[in-house]
Amino acid sequence: MFEEQVRAALNNVRPSLQADGGDVEFVSLSDDGTVSVKLTGACGGCPMAEMTLKMGIESYLKKEVPQVTAVVGV
């Protein structure tokens, strides 16, 4: 259930990333609420990727799924 909520929230952010030529892939979810994702396409090598990850994806996921404690790129 928790993982499904995370995946659904990621699907909501995906169009914004795809509009810039990138994407995000769910990798894993740890017991402590850390979500691991992989930024792909233009997002994979973008100098702003860390900001996108923390200020964009992480803040959105924490708002939508309160059990999320952090989002990390792998």
Query: What is the model's pLDDT at position 3?
Result: 94
pTM attached to this predicted model: 0.92
User: pLDDT (tens digit, 9 = 90+) per residue, 45-62?
Assistant: 888 888 999 999 999 999
In angstroms, the CA 12 to CA 6 distance is 10
Cβ neighbours, 10 Å, residue 43? 21
Phi then psi for residue 51, to 5 deg, are: -70, -40
2-73, superfamily in CATH?
Answer: Fe-S cluster assembly (FSCA) (3.30.300.130)
Q: Please report, as a single letter, which amino acid is at residue 46.
A: C
pLDDT in tens, the chain (74 residues): 889 999 999 999 999 999 989 999 999 999 999 999 999 999 888 888 889 999 999 999 999 999 999 999 99
